[in-house]
Structure 1
Amino acid sequence: MGQIEIGLFEHSGWELDLEKRELRAMGAPVPLGSRAFEILETLAVSSGGIVTKDELMKRVWPGLVVEDNTLQVHISAIRRALGKDRDLLRTVSGRGYRLLGEWTEPERRIAGPMPAMRVQSSQRAGFVTNIPSAASELIGRQAAVSHIMTLLSAYRIVTLTGPGGIGKTVLASEVARRLQPTIGDAFFVELVSLSDPNLVSTTLAQALDLRLQGDDISAELVARAIGNRKMLLLIDNCEHVVDAAAEMVEAIIRACQNVSVLATSRELLRIEGEFTFRVPPLDVPANEQVDDLLQHSSVQLFIARTRALQSDFMINKDRVSVIAGICRHLDGIPLAIEFAAARAATLGLSQIAGRLDDRFVLLTGGRRTALPRHRTLRAALDWSYELLPEGERRLLRNLAVFPAGFTLEAAMAASGEDEEETAVGLSNLVSKSLVTFEGTEAAPRWRLLETVRVYSLEKLGLGADYRLTMRRIAAFFESFFQPFSNENSLQVAIEGLGPYRREIDNLRAAMTWALSPDGDGKLGARLAAVASDFWTAMSLVSEAGEWAQKALSRLEGEEGGRTEMVLQCALGFALIYTQGMSERGKDVLTRALSLAKTLDDPDYRQRVTCALWLFSARSVALKEALVRAHEYEKGDGGRDAGSGATAAWLTGIPKTYQAEHLEAYDRLEWAAKNSPPDNRRRDMLRLGADIRTSSMAHNTVNLISLGRLDAAFLTAEDSILEARATKQPFVFCVALAWASAFVSLSLDNEARAQEWGEELIAHALQHGLKPFYAVGLCVRGSLASRSGSPAEGIDALRAGLREMQEASYLLFYPFFMCEFAAALQAAGRFDEGLDEIDRAQRFSADKSYRWIEPELLRKKGEIIAAQGGDETLPVHLFQEAAQRASAQSGLYWELTAGISLVEYLASRGERRAAKKILLPVYERFTEGFSTPRLLRAKMLLATDT
């Protein structure tokens, strides 16, 4: 070999050898990809000057359009290679890059002849490759292929990792096929069949046809035999011989500057210069309702593979939705999807979708040419599992009990090991692609892919190990959710819901086991009690009640204690909101109050007193509600400003419906303004209501009655905004119910009644709040009747009233009985309408529900007037309605009764009564002049000439 000149740049122990194209640190080679080396060479030659991005791209990628992020990958590779001296490569903002330091070229040296090699290496003309041809189209991996190609020009060793079946080999092969025309020789080296790590070097030598002599073929010998050949090595399935594979690759990278390595392994090689690319699953739809299901690569793969086996396989919207669900349950793992598609071609989609829980039996039978470990889903996971040491197997089995992922602390609880041992084991499982990191540096979190989790759960079984693990995590979550069971920490827990929300499915799993016949009932009951306020904070009131009910049957010796008290309170509140004011709910709350008094627990005594008040108020036992309010005021109402606001709210509401409008208005206005905002969310859980929103909603009844119509409507709108911000379904339903019914219907604003009424129905249905659904039905019925469809209105009103009665949710009952009577009148069913009015009047008298009495008298007069007959009775009823309203300070109802009287008299020929009857009332209004009834009164006054 002749002599040539070479260039060598040096700086502080670093050497940049342009002839060998090698970066060395203190004489030791540092792996660096070919493009990254060219960038470093360009910067070194510039002698510390700034090289722009455009100049670098033109130098390294001549004639190609390259994106900025491609350059960034290579800059990162150089900095990674420089290690602790990474700051030598400086970014000059907006201009380019420069290499700091004195990179000198000390001498031009003459290279002597290369020493003779003692091994044979086959030299062939042209490019050589044994990369297998593609068996089918690669779906959903275009971005990954492009990115890996970029990585291989920046790093000399790139390892594709991921769980079995994720598609590492297929992806690596496609990258190698695309690079081969430009990189030269490309070799596929398959290690899967090796059982002896000592055969790695021999296998590599055979794949490259190096024809090495001797029995002991070492990694160094193979590397020397490769020498300066330019090639790409694709080394597949390294995980079961990972130490030997790492040794082999490291030797090649150090000795062979023209070789790049693309490896696939479920475990990292962990050698210098390695860049890891974790192969992601195919993208899956978040749910079946999204519009672009066919745009997701997992769905595309399923359809393509099914059609390959069943050419007439047709798709429609329903089928695509089912396919999306299958792909999501299979985590987007290509191998599992291919198995599922193969089965769908023979068994049908519905069979596959319905049997995924038995996926390891169902998902078998891949391609005949597949490796044995890829012929069933179980085999793919057996391969990884059997490679684990026993400690990591045990940890993997224990982690399978978490359906929603886990933190390090939770993993420690499940394993029963200390932090160091758990963290090391967890790190190893991540590196072996069996556990996925999905959190952030500030909030680290891990999970098992669902297929891995199902497999590991099967390995765990249902015996003693499973029971021990579940008992540990139930105890862990009892401690984790403890802040929700302490009055002093409840507000902080509610404001920081994020970490707790992430554990919701894990909590369900722990409670399901603990409250099962094979679980630990006493532990489950304590956990249910600790977490009871968490469910309500999550707007899952119904679920809170379900868990409380299950737990109460598993107290196992803890009857009469705090646990039972908390559970009885949670169940009572849930029953009120989901089932209404049933006797069972009252009995449950009465028991809770008795326990709170016995245990001298002021917090729960306050909670349950409010719950029993809520029960009385909603069932329109107004006198009893006032007794509860005074009980609260006497016992707890003076503790703080919040308790004072609560006491004002408790007394203001029953007084509203007893028609003490002036006092009720003052109390509710004060309660709304003085309810402390700091503890608002905590108080919603403790009291079963939001004091501010509830006070505003109920006060609309007083505002309308007092003739403050604009204020009533604005208050209704504000209450909805306030309630929406709380994100509590029952609070939002309260605001919508009052706004759509009492406010919108009373003020004849049908547009708003419909808007808010339909939202009420949808929200109540979504969250299982039956009493509020009944209100929404009645609003819908009232609007139908008013718009000229009385038959439709009658059906909806009858259904809503029936549900109100069944739920004993009666605050709206007389109001909608009056609306029902109006619908019957519109249908010409006068006698039935009068019967409804009579029932409503008896109800109001029995319950002291007086505010509606003027309107019931007026409606009765209108039905009788429409029916014909006694001409004096309607006049008497209208006059009595106005007098009753005046006595209650009900200015609006007094005007409404006056309008009916004037219109009735006009129909009888008396056309000069408006000014005498209406003017004194109309002149007392200060607002609301654009509302329909005031406009009607104004018109009647104008025509009274």
Structure 2
Amino acid sequence: MTRLMISLLGPLQVALNGEPVTGFATDKARALLAYLAVEADRPHRRDALAGLLWPDQPQRKARQNLRQALSHLRQALGDRDDAVPFLRVSRQTVQFNLESDHWLDVAAFTALAEACRRHRHRRLETCLPCLRRMEKMAQLYRGDFLEQFFLADSDVFEEWALLEREWLRRQAVRVLSHLADYYERRGDYERGRYYAWRQVELEPWREEAHRQLMRLLALDGQRSAALAQYEACRRALAEELGIEPTAETVALYERISESAGRQVGESAIANLPLSPTSFVGRQEELAELAELLANPDCRLLTLVGPGGIGKTRLALQAAAAHIGAFAHGVYFVPLTSVSSPELIVPTIAEAIAFSFDSHRDPKEQFLDYLREKEMLLVLDSLEHILEGAELLVGILRYAPGVVLLATSRERLNLREEWVYAVEGLTYPEGEAVGELGTSSAIDLFRQRARQAYRRFSLAETEIPHVVRICQLVEGMPLGVELAAAWVAVRSCGGIAQEIERNLDILRARLRNVPERQRSVRATFEHSWNLLSGQERAVFRKLSVFRGGFRAKAAEQVAGASLAVLSALVDKSLVRRVSSERYDMHELLRQYAAEKLQADPQEHNETQRHHARYFAAFLEQQREHLKGAKQKQALLEIGLEIENARHAWRLAVARGYAHLVEQSLESLYHFYDVRSRFREGIELFAQAVERWRGDSQQARIFGKALSYQGALYRHLGLHRLARTCLERSLGIFERLRMQTEQVFCLINLAEVSRHQGKYEEAEQLARKGLTLSWQIEDCWGMARSLLLLGLIRYRTGDVDQAQALLEESLAIGRESGDQRLIMPSLNALGDVACHRGDYTKAQVLFEECLALSRELGDQFNVAVHLNNLGTVLHVLGKYAEARSFYQESLETCRKIGDQKGQAIALSNLGEVTHALGAYSEAQEYYQAGLTIGREVGDQWATMACLNNLGETACALGDYEKATAHFAEALKIATDTQTLAMLLKILVNLAVLLARRGQRGQAAELLGLARRHPASEQATQEKAERLLDEMGLTPPDSVPPLDAVAAEVLAGISPH
């Protein structure tokens, strides 16, 4: 909602946050606001404002009054503490702030008037987009500017207001006059009278408005009222101006008196057929078509699209909106049954009721008739008589007032032609069923289903099936309507399944539907019959592609030359979706696939070409994915991922092992970086099952299994990950595949680290590092060093950790692989946080976030959002921190990262705890703990337990706090996670102090304050608690292990 709404057309009204502002101290404050808001394009000197409102006052007194008025105004608007104030006030000037959150009716009115003035059109009064703007202007004009608002002691202000009032009223009267004329031409006499009457209300002496009213009343059969209006006009002119009506008005009066009323003007001319059903959606398209039809340069507009896409219905709706905009009518010319170009002229002539003279050439007569006409001709279905398109050029040349709106499955390919590609109705993408409110395809299905079966109701359980139906037909109106017609005898789920199986369900059983519109198949057959033999061959072969294709792929897989591909685009059978990419409507693709499958040999050969092409494509991207061209390679694979999946499934099913091996690594990197873990797992499972137990293909089996394991790890499914990775490692060792061994060792080390098995993780990482050095594997070296650094960091050796991480970063930067750079930078950010260098940490995390966003790596986006939130949290910026944590949580949920969810929930709990909402914080911690336990992530489990203990302690529940701290301390001690161990001891110190064990509390705080593994934030917290609780730590304390063991023994249940 706009914060400040100012209405000056009519009585002055001001609203703030939807509530009327009535607290203005004086009318001068209101006047000041009105003036500043209208004249907001420049700052105003205080002296000038004082002179405007207090012209008769001494300057000093006037300036004092201005200060008071300004103060009252700002108080009424709540403007003093606003980040973006409504008023910009300095010692010398005052200006209304155009950047503030406000709306002014005068500004909106003026902007619409200016838009009409600048708009390119044939004539303003017949321009539909401008008429729509004028309707908005009429709505805004509630009355004259500052109606009934006067400053009796300020002639200067009143003179300014008068000039504004007169200019705005002239604009309003002009607008109302145009609208009354337009609706008279459309035959909407009631609407026309409304606009004419408003003119008379504003200017009772306006004779033209009275004539409009008289004419509109007469045309509507209200002859007596029309004659009475003449008398009202005569009285108004006598009273206001002392004159008699003009001869034109008197003549109109006499015509009405002498007639039945319907001959006093011309009614709208149109022959558009009435539609048997409602029109749904397409509002954006209608607005675009209105703009094009208003453009004087666009006189031949062709709606192009495949059969069933709704070209004719859209053209009729657009034409109907233009009734009244063309002086000599709007006509629909159906050409479906016209069999030759020679019949086009007589068909149009019949539609516009033109009769030929037998002594002259019909075409010549026809063009002569059109020469002086202003018409919109809707020429429907031109694709089968394209040879007659030259006639359209003749019409455009000889009849400058005629505009042609054509529909065709194929472009006319005329120089004068403007092409408008018609797509399907809007429908939800993917599984986004929440977008139903903006889906016109769903609306169409619902309406036609109720028409077919009155008891139909779109139940919650049926929504996904209806969404699927609309997706399968890609919003094609004919497909949606034919599918909806089956709801009386089939469930929506059953209809969707049948569409996926074949096209035959999409047929109508209605008697009065044209033959080629009775089924989607019939519609497509009509287009198929218009193709050449070569076009048919390419069209059916293109059906093997999924999700679109490039011209090069079409050439190599389907033998499509650029000329043939362009011809199929022109015929609306293929869509050009970008400068380099094409696709097909899904129903057309299904139809083409049926044609291809009719020849098994051609079908198998085309599929094989497709599989080979995309396996080679993936192999080509493999090296790019590991270097500086990584981002582009990911984008390329992303565009072709549906084709790659389809090719993979075929290669696996037919046992093309060499093609599968070509594809494996690139697919893994794509699914890993894009965080599409489950999708990747399911894909690799196909190869695992295909070659399980096949000793000849152990290499492929091992690779697919290892990639499954790595993706399981990202989902936090450590047990499954370990099983896959250990088995594949055994295979690679047997086959002496060293690069693959490194991959398994590093992923196993990651699994061990997340399970808190740091010793095992270090051994695996060192083994991976040694092997990486031997085979000069940069990825292996960087990842091994990263892991060793992370382990050192977790176990408290921060200096050694930093050295290892910097070495890993150097290798990553040298390789140009952003996926190696990001994790090292992120870990170095953790080290900076540990040392209390939050500025450096923020810079590092922001660089990481930028890199991960650039790559589309949602897994790491979530990690870096979380870490940035931690920095902001420590700096006390709780609202910003919460926002980052929340986005991290939502991202983790989206990609299925359970460990990330647990950590984000823990951090959300921490920031909520900091704001004092302890119960809410507990809910976050408990949710995070549940996930942490489920996936076996020790860090998340420890963090949530420690936080639960701290919150329980704050709430005075010491027994529960003790239990949480004991469990967290046990895990931290077992895993030697020293930084977390010290955090737990600091929180325990608070609990011990409250229980009277102040000496032990002081010992724990003293240890945390000095220990090298203690994070800066932990040290500062320990220092603060010592001061707050008045504790003095001992000069020396036992080693951390001994202290932790003693505390754990003291608080653990016996």
Q: TM-score range by the shorter chain?
A: 0.5 to 0.7
Rounded to whole Å, the distance in 2 between the matches of 1:128 and 1:738 is 68
Q: Which residue of 1 aligns with 2:609?
A: 472
Q: Is the 8 A contact 2:292 2:298 kept in 1?
A: no
Q: Which residue of 2 aligns with 1:384?
A: 527
Alpha-carbon distance, 1:569 to partner? 3.6
Alpha-carbon distance, 1:636 to partner? 3.7
Rounded to whole Å, the distance in 1 between the matches of 2:679 and 2:845 is 26
Q: Which residue of 1 aligns with 2:823?
A: 690
Structure 1 letter corresponding to 2:586: E
Rounded to whole Å, the distance in 1 between the matches of 2:292 and 2:308 is 19
Q: Once the two structures are superposed, what CA deviation does each residue of 1:623-645 show, in whole Å capped at 9, x if it has no partner?
A: 23333343344444696998876
From the superposition, tell whether residues 190 and 486 of structure 1 become closer, same or farther in structure 2 (CA, over 3 Å): same
Out of 703, 725, 729, the position equivalent to 2:858 is 729
Rounded to whole Å, the distance in 2 between the matches of 1:147 and 1:813 is 61
* Structure 1 portions without partners, runs of 5+: 1-56, 70-125, 214-219, 922-945
Q: Which has the higher contact order (CA 8 A, sep 6+)?
A: 1
Pairs within 5 Å for 1:542-561: 542-555=678-691
Structure 2 letter corresponding to 1:695: L
Alpha-carbon distance, 1:499 to partner? 3.1
Q: Is the 8 A contact 1:672 1:696 kept in 2?
A: no
Residue aligned with 1:676, SS? helix
Residue aligned with 2:309, SS? coil
Out of 620, 626, 633, the position equivalent to 1:483 is 620
Structure 2 letter corresponding to 1:663: Q
Q: Which residue of 1 aligns with 2:381?
A: 237
Rounded to whole Å, the distance in 1 between the matches of 2:801 and 2:331 is 87
Alpha-carbon distance, 1:848 to partner? 3.4
Q: Which residue of 1 aligns with 2:538?
A: 395
Residue aligned with 2:751, SS? helix
Q: Is the 8 A contact 2:806 2:824 kept in 1?
A: no
Q: Which residue of 2 aligns with 1:940?
A: none
Structure 1 letter corresponding to 2:521: R
Q: Which residue of 2 aligns with 1:540?
A: 676
1:879 aligns with 2:1035: no
Pairs within 5 Å for 1:214-229: 223=363, 226=366, 228-229=368-369
Alpha-carbon distance, 1:836 to partner? 4.9
Q: Which residue of 2 aligns with 1:498?
A: 635
Rounded to whole Å, the distance in 2 between the matches of 1:296 and 1:791 is 41
Out of 775, 778, 800, the position equivalent to 2:928 is 800
Alpha-carbon distance, 1:547 to partner? 1.9
From the superposition, tell whether residues 321 and 734 of structure 1 become closer, same or farther in structure 2 (CA, over 3 Å): closer
Pairs within 5 Å for 1:327-726: 330-339=473-482, 357=500, 360-365=503-508, 368-415=511-558, 417=559, 419-420=560-561, 423-440=562-579, 444-461=580-597, 465-486=602-623, 490-515=627-652, 523-524=659-660, 526-555=662-691, 563-582=700-719, 584-593=720-729, 603-636=739-772, 648-668=785-805, 675-676=812-813, 679-683=816-820, 690-697=823-830, 699=831, 704=834, 708-709=835-836, 711-712=837-838, 715=841, 718-719=844-845, 722-723=848-849, 725-726=851-852
Alpha-carbon distance, 1:748 to partner? 9.0
Pairs within 5 Å for 1:49-88: none
From the superposition, tell whether residues 345 and 864 of structure 1 become closer, same or farther in structure 2 (CA, over 3 Å): same
Alpha-carbon distance, 1:426 to partner? 2.0
Rounded to whole Å, the distance in 2 between the matches of 1:735 and 1:900 is 30
From the superposition, tell whether residues 127 and 735 of structure 1 become closer, same or farther in structure 2 (CA, over 3 Å): closer
From the superposition, tell whether residues 811 and 746 of structure 1 become closer, same or farther in structure 2 (CA, over 3 Å): farther
From the superposition, tell whether residues 156 and 881 of structure 1 become closer, same or farther in structure 2 (CA, over 3 Å): closer
Q: Which residue of 2 aligns with 1:759?
A: 887
Alpha-carbon distance, 1:379 to partner? 2.4
1:811 aligns with 2:811: no
Q: Is the 8 A contact 1:191 1:236 kept in 2?
A: yes
Q: Is the 8 A contact 2:795 2:1013 kept in 1?
A: no
Rounded to whole Å, the distance in 2 between the matches of 1:326 and 1:854 is 58
Structure 1 letter corresponding to 2:786: W
Q: Once the two structures are superposed, what CA deviation does each residue of 1:225-268 show, in whole Å capped at 9, x if it has no partner?
A: 7574437876543434544x458778999999999876543234
Structure 1 letter corresponding to 2:823: D
Structure 2 letter corresponding to 1:683: L
Q: Is the 8 A contact 1:166 1:279 kept in 2?
A: no
Alpha-carbon distance, 1:317 to partner? 12
Residue aligned with 1:400, SS? helix
Rounded to whole Å, the distance in 2 between the matches of 1:373 and 1:813 is 65
Residue aligned with 1:165, SS? coil
- TM-score using structure 2 length: 0.60
Rounded to whole Å, the distance in 1 between the matches of 2:781 and 2:818 is 17
Superposition RMSD in Å? 5.4
Alpha-carbon distance, 1:574 to partner? 0.9
Rounded to whole Å, the distance in 1 between the matches of 2:426 and 2:496 is 15
Aligned residues: 768
Residue aligned with 1:471, SS? helix
Q: Which residue of 1 aligns with 2:159?
A: none
Rounded to whole Å, the distance in 2 between the matches of 1:721 and 1:855 is 28
Structure 2 letter corresponding to 1:451: L
Alpha-carbon distance, 1:888 to partner? 4.3
Alpha-carbon distance, 1:67 to partner? 11
From the superposition, tell whether residues 898 and 636 of structure 1 become closer, same or farther in structure 2 (CA, over 3 Å): same
Rounded to whole Å, the distance in 2 between the matches of 1:775 and 1:63 is 62
Rounded to whole Å, the distance in 2 between the matches of 1:811 and 1:608 is 23
Alpha-carbon distance, 1:324 to partner? 7.8
Rounded to whole Å, the distance in 1 between the matches of 2:751 and 2:595 is 50
Alpha-carbon distance, 1:525 to partner? 5.6
Alpha-carbon distance, 1:768 to partner? 0.5
Structure 1 letter corresponding to 2:520: L
Rounded to whole Å, the distance in 1 between the matches of 2:757 and 2:493 is 53
Q: Is the 8 A contact 2:319 2:378 kept in 1?
A: yes
Alpha-carbon distance, 1:567 to partner? 2.6
Q: Once the two structures are superposed, what CA deviation does each residue of 1:652-708 show, in whole Å capped at 9, x if it has no partner?
A: 222222222343345446655775177242437xxxx622113323x25xx54xxx4
Q: Once the two structures are superposed, what CA deviation does each residue of 1:809-867 show, in whole Å capped at 9, x if it has no partner?
A: 22344444433444555676656654554554444444333444444455556545655
From the superposition, tell whether residues 322 and 808 of structure 1 become closer, same or farther in structure 2 (CA, over 3 Å): closer
Rounded to whole Å, the distance in 1 between the matches of 2:471 and 2:428 is 8
From the superposition, tell whether residues 599 and 289 of structure 1 become closer, same or farther in structure 2 (CA, over 3 Å): closer
Rounded to whole Å, the distance in 2 between the matches of 1:549 and 1:361 is 34
Q: Is the 8 A contact 1:366 1:375 kept in 2?
A: yes
Q: Which residue of 2 aligns with 1:774?
A: 902
Alpha-carbon distance, 1:165 to partner? 2.5
Q: Is the 8 A contact 1:224 1:255 kept in 2?
A: no
From the superposition, tell whether residues 254 and 146 of structure 1 become closer, same or farther in structure 2 (CA, over 3 Å): closer
Alpha-carbon distance, 1:166 to partner? 3.2
Residue aligned with 1:410, SS? helix
Rounded to whole Å, the distance in 1 between the matches of 2:121 and 2:802 is 79
Alpha-carbon distance, 1:293 to partner? 6.8
Out of 248, 259, 273, the position equivalent to 1:133 is 273
Q: Once the two structures are superposed, what CA deviation does each residue of 1:121-177 show, in whole Å capped at 9, x if it has no partner?
A: xxxxx99999553436766464465466458x7588665432113344445567778
Identity %: 22
From the superposition, tell whether residues 247 and 883 of structure 1 become closer, same or farther in structure 2 (CA, over 3 Å): closer
From the superposition, tell whether residues 251 and 495 of structure 1 become closer, same or farther in structure 2 (CA, over 3 Å): closer
From the superposition, tell whether residues 210 and 599 of structure 1 become closer, same or farther in structure 2 (CA, over 3 Å): farther
Residue aligned with 1:811, SS? helix
Q: Once the two structures are superposed, what CA deviation does each residue of 1:258-297 show, in whole Å capped at 9, x if it has no partner?
A: 9987654323455x65525334236526659799976776
